[in-house]
Chain A
């Protein structure tokens, strides 16, 4: 059970406090309700580029990192298609330093030209390092384009192309800040060796004076139900053929999400999972195979991906994957197999909650979904999933008409 207290201040900022006196540290985690899905299709990659600029100095503080490091702290941030999360960890005695730094950059940035120029280059190198200069690095670029026709999940967080980042201007940066980076669009979580009273006092002092700004109302196009199978074929300079298949699933807050999540565990969560056993060990068609989803807030995807053993034909590999899916659809799973994936989920959750950094980030993310207490309720939601639901959902999800296949062939 993870205890927390929640309150909100006049400018719309929500605050959650999780006290844990067993650690000497404090974590300050700020989540902004903006991700790559909120970008202009002509200016993709911006939410993530912006995350970099948040470290380029704020209105009253020329640099973010140094004062934090001087206070014995460390920090990082990440952007997804759904959200942007910033966190710092520092000795609890120096908690106020984090409030000072985080509130100033929520108030306003320095909007330095030099910072924009440098971070554009840094992000371009990040783009190259992960998506261009790696074999199979462009898979998600292609897969998102195939699976989404209107929803902005059709581009990656890093952006659809390098030029979008290269062309970002300071005006774009300012507009993005005023649209998304205001208190009503943020959740602050403070965890560790702190008290609710102290957090209230510091919030009043540092965050309450920030103007509320205009609340951003998200209105994204809904991806229409897919009605026919789609596929794409790629030939590239990679050593092995690979197969990628995606099917649309449910939004994160839909109860069927838990069923879909357990289905991925049944298919590939370890050495006794179905796809690994059948296709890597017994039939030896793949050298590795995974089934996963990304936990997207809006309706996401279940993915199966694997690299083919040299010499195996793509049709045979795909047929074998389909055979496993049909088996699941027709025969379902045993009670013991269901217990196994629920036990695994229970222990995974216990391990995830071991550090205050993780607990703080989870609380922020659950609150963003609408209910921070999901952190305590989710295990029961998983336990409520039945074998019948797994069988039925697998028929709906793995329907051929809902499938998207990327055949990735080696040129060599």
Chain B
């Protein structure tokens, strides 16, 4: 045995990746349900996705506050009582608010579903948004913002999005303490009424599904005034900042700077999107990427550096993100631009490209481990108005994209003058 010689491998690109198809049915009111029945553990996840993100709010932070307070009291139950039911049955009911969508998600042992679905129904039909609960929410959110504003990474992340999309755009706006002060119960109730009670909804259910899942969901949600998802959203104009470079001193005692470098980018429907995903992997998308190898593994400037394309529905941004030692922030930025230039000038060699192809396919194979992960993939496709074909085309792209194509894309998109740049210390 010679330990210097690697064992033979099967190239991951030879694997036949399959995305397990979903079952689809509609509730009596037309709300679509996407279902994946898989897995060994007796667990289930039900996600109700509403078009109720900050895309729809007329006043800042209304969407997020409404989403959060769904669980904080109905006409018959206090927040405590609602939580007690979920927790007694070992279930988790989380809310999250994004740009276009807002989600109520329930995770529990499959056997407990009949006991807890009625509480979810109550939340999305009868939430009361009391003054007292809103006041606590405002107070605690403001305190959390105050703490976060002392962190350079938090400040930099907020600002870079605002530069790229504009502070008025849903992707660029952020919450200040005074936005929270301005909230009132009536605005929340109106928002709830329009975007939850009479809103557009899709349901994603995955895990070990009970045989009567369709009946359970239909009897709980099928008679509500909800409408099916339409995927037809108004567009909102972006107003990117004129100035491209920023240096901000946020914390006098700071020993690191948060660096964010970003440019606007297309959404998933653009033909370059999938190809750029591969280029991004080479550039800064995994541990073996150019940025990581150079700036962490060679220079030791940072604990980690990553690049990624934001997962937005309408428009996206291509982002580079790191926290580096205060004294090496400018050197780090210089190296980032050097790596862009290398990708514009030189071809990625075959060995590196093969590694990236195998890595991407291999991790994709690993990411599809389990029903929640499979459904997560589908949900992302569906919410982006894409189908299974997109998944298979992205795999094909990973397998066949050439070094020349990558260089062309780098020339098109990795030009420093197109990027916004910020360092917050």
Contacts and interface: CB of A to CB of B under 8 A. Distances in A.
Interface of A: 20, 22-25, 59-61, 65-67, 69-74, 89-91, 93-94, 96-97, 99-100, 103-104, 107, 117-126, 128-129, 132-136, 205, 209, 237-240, 269-273, 277, 280-281, 284, 287-288, 307, 309-310, 336, 339-340, 343-348, 350-351, 353-356
Interface in B294-315: 296-303
A99 B47 CA distance: 39
A93 B87 contact: no
Contacts of B41: 350-351, 353-354
B324 interface: yes
B301 A121 contact: yes
A298 to B, nearest CB: 28
Leading 10 A-B pairs by shortest Cβ distance: A72-B362, A121-B300, A72-B12, A271-B83, A347-B90, A343-B90, A272-B83, A60-B3, A96-B7, A272-B84
Nearest to A24: B365
Contact of B370 (A66, A93, A97, A355): A355
B43 A354 contact: yes
B147 interface: yes
Given A271-B83, A280-B136, A348-B90, A128 B4 contact: no
A238 B366 contact: no
B6 interface: yes
Given A239-B147, A354-B370, A281 B9 contact: no
B349 interface: no
Contacts of B12: 71-72, 91, 94
B147 A238 contact: yes
A126 B372 contact: no
Contacts of A103: 3
Contacts of B10: 91, 93-94
Contacts of A271: 71, 79-80, 82-83, 86-87
Contacts of B92: 347
Contact of A134 (B71, B151, B324, B365): B151
Interface in B272-321: 286-288, 296-303
Contacts of B255: 128, 132-133
Contacts of B140: 280, 287-288, 309
Contacts of A277: 80
24 contacts: A22-B40, A70-B355, A72-B11, A74-B359, A97-B9, A100-B3, A107-B3, A117-B300, A125-B324, A128-B256, A240-B146, A240-B147, A271-B83, A272-B81, A272-B86, A281-B79, A281-B136, A345-B90, A346-B90, A347-B91, A348-B90, A350-B109, A351-B43, A354-B39
Interface of B: 1, 3-4, 6-12, 15, 39-43, 71, 79-84, 86-92, 107-109, 112, 136, 139-140, 143-144, 146-147, 149-152, 251, 253-256, 286-288, 296-303, 323-325, 354-356, 358-359, 361-363, 365-366, 369-370, 372
A345 B109 CA distance: 11
B136 A70 contact: no
B136 A284 contact: yes
B143 A72 contact: no
Nearest to A209: B1
B122 to A, nearest CB: 15
Point out which of A91, A135, A346, A350 has the most chain B C-beta atoms below 10 A from its C-beta.
A91
Contact of B362 (A23, A74, A239): A74
A137 to B, nearest CB: 10
Given A65-B288, A91-B12, A104-B3, A122 B302 contact: yes
Q: Which of B8, B12, B82, B286 has the most CB of A within 10 A?
A: B12
Nearest to B296: A122
A71 B9 contact: yes
B359 to A, nearest CB: 4
A307 B355 contact: no
A67 B6 contact: yes
A347 B80 contact: no
A67 B6 CA distance: 8
B85 to A, nearest CB: 8
Nearest to B144: A287
Contacts of A107: 3
B363 A74 contact: yes
B90 A344 contact: yes
Contact of B288 (A61, A69, A71): A69
Contacts of A287: 139-140, 143-144
Nearest to A2: B40
A307 B87 contact: no
Contacts of B8: 96
A269 B369 contact: no
Contacts of B107: 347, 351
A24 B15 contact: yes
Contacts of A281: 79-80, 136
Nearest to A114: B298
Contacts of A135: 147, 150-151
Contacts of B42: 350
Contact of A91 (B109, B149, B362): B362
A273 to B, nearest CB: 8
A99 B268 CA distance: 38
A118 B300 contact: yes
A129 B325 CA distance: 9
A74 B360 CA distance: 10
A239 B146 contact: yes
Contacts of B3: 59-61, 100, 103-104, 107
A269 B140 CA distance: 18
Contacts of B139: 284, 287, 309
Contacts of A67: 6
Given A287-B143, A307-B147, A350-B43, 5 more contacts: A237-B150, A237-B251, A271-B86, A343-B87, A344-B87
Nearest to A307: B143
Given A119-B300, A287-B139, A91 B90 contact: no
A209 B298 CA distance: 33
A205 to B, nearest CB: 7
Contacts of B288: 65-66, 69
B323 to A, nearest CB: 5
